Amino acid sequence: MKPKHNFKNLKVWQKSVDLAVKVYHITKEFPSEEKFGMTSQMRRASVSIPSNIAEGTAKSTSKSFVNSLDISLGESYELETQAIIANLVGLLDKEQFTSLESDISEVQRMINGFISTVESNPF
């Protein structure tokens, strides 16, 4: 079955991939004792965002697609929480945190907008 959307052309998918790459670069600088802690958690959450968007494009109903987008949105809030904690415990400096938080907020807005679009134009 052919996906309803080519996920690679979706701006929200592209932006969330950029976010995941950024998280990988930032967490590369985390202490080695965080490898199985915050580093792993933040990387998994960030990768889940575009992965669930991509998965949703193969769904056969708008409702299923929106469910995948909802999961991506949830992962973005998980990542935001992890970034806040990483900042509070000194793993992220103020500049890294501000930049990351801004990117996460943009992805959240884009996902919310895309959910509204899909719900308004079901397939």
Of the candidates 26, 16, 33, 20, which has an alpha carbon nearest to the alpha carbon of residue 109?
Answer: 16
Position 62 in a domain: yes
The fraction of the chain above a pLDDT of 90, given in percent, is: 89
Position 3 in a domain: no
Position 8 in a domain: no
Position 70 in a domain: yes
What residues make up the domain containing 76? 23-120
The token pair at 97 is: 């945190």
Mean pLDDT of the 106-113 span: 98
DSSP 114: H
CATH number at residue 31: 1.20.1440.60
The fraction of the chain above a pLDDT of 70, given in percent, is: 96
Position 14 in a domain: no
Mean pLDDT of the 80-96 span: 97
Position 6 in a domain: no
Q: Give the number of domains in the chain.
A: 1
Position 13 in a domain: no
Tens of pLDDT, residues 30-71: 999 999 899 999 999 999 999 999 999 999 899 999 999 999
Interatomic CA distance for residues 31 and 39, integer angstroms:
9
Average confidence score pLDDT of the chain = 94
Q: What is the pLDDT of residue 1?
A: 44
3: confidence class by pLDDT, cuts 50, 70, 90: low
